[in-house]
Amino acid sequence: MAKLHYRIVEHDGGWAYRLGDVYSERFPRRDDAIAAARRVVAEQRVPGEPTLIEYEDENGRWHTERSDGNDHPDADVIV
């Protein structure tokens, strides 16, 4: 299972949460960014419906996999 770390960082004159190289919108206060990141983590834990997932790999090949709706990443917020 994937492990995701949302990090709270200063960004664009305010605060944001960051996953890898991707930043959220800017929040005026650090506490607002923390609360938003915690909401994102909580939403990732909500079970989904079984579905088919199609994706292209780095070699240009397409794959189809079935997701049971419960295979969520393990995510946290690093403040």
What are the φ/ψ torsions at residue 57 (nearest 5 degrees)? -85, 180
Under a CB-based contact definition with an 8 Å cutoff, are residues 74 and 4 in contact? yes
Taking the alpha carbons at both ends of the chain, their separation in whole angstroms is 22
Q: Which residues pair with 18 in a beta bridge?
A: 7, 23
pTM of the model: 0.76
32 residue type, one letter: D
> What pLDDT, on a 0 to 100 scale, did the predictor assign at position 69?
86
Element (H, E) at 42: helix 30-44
Question: Which residues of the chain, if any, have pLDDT below 70?
Answer: 1
